[in-house]
Structure 1
């Protein structure tokens, strides 16, 4: 399996992927994604690994801390958490 996209959303959605671009999709929690990284049968694009290592897991933890009393994640913004000064360039 090749993993190539990241999508954050807090909504009830119907996924209708463009089959010319996406073969499959899966909702995972953080621990499942970590397990997927550890499975040698999975492959990830270099930029996805970089984003996950440097940003994704920290964002994920912060979003879970923002969970409201209604059980929903308040994810309108990572304002005050994300450092926009760090730019990563893939060459």
Structure 2
């Protein structure tokens, strides 16, 4: 997720993997790993700003997907995004091609 104070949050990266982040500094100034409650608190803080589409995605999809993924942890405690197959309603998703 790209974010700096005074700059709207306008990127979402939703994945289940161990990764090394090497952002292109021409595109992403900052990133932060957050849990669900942290992101919800960020929405409540007026010092933060979010792009309108980020708010819509979080409200309509992200928080529900997050809950569902946590419920679907495997025996090792890992979460697999592919486990959302079959429950995600794609009818409200607008894809840019």
Give yes or no for TM over 0.5.
yes
| Aligned partner of 1:79 among 74, 85, 90 | 85
Instruction: Give the Cα–Cα distance (whole angstroms) in 1 for the partners of residues 10 and 61 of structure 2.
Output: 15
CA RMSD in angstroms comes to: 1.5
Higher relative contact order (CA 8 A, sep 6+): 1
* 1:11-36 deviation line (CA, Å, top 9, x unaligned): 11110001111110000000000000
Query: Between Structure 1 and Structure 2, which shows a larger proportion of strand residues?
Result: 1
What TM-score, normalized to structure 1?
A: 0.90
2:48 is equivalent to residue 42 of structure 1: yes
- Name the SS for the 1:59 alignment partner: helix
What TM-score, normalized to structure 2?
A: 0.84
Q: 1:56 to 1:68 in 2, by over 3 A?
A: same
Q: Partner residue of 1:23?
A: 29
Equivalences, count: 89
Q: Which runs of 5+ in 1 are unaligned?
A: none
- Name the SS for the 1:37 alignment partner: helix
Query: Between Structure 1 and Structure 2, which shows a larger proportion of helix residues?
Result: 2
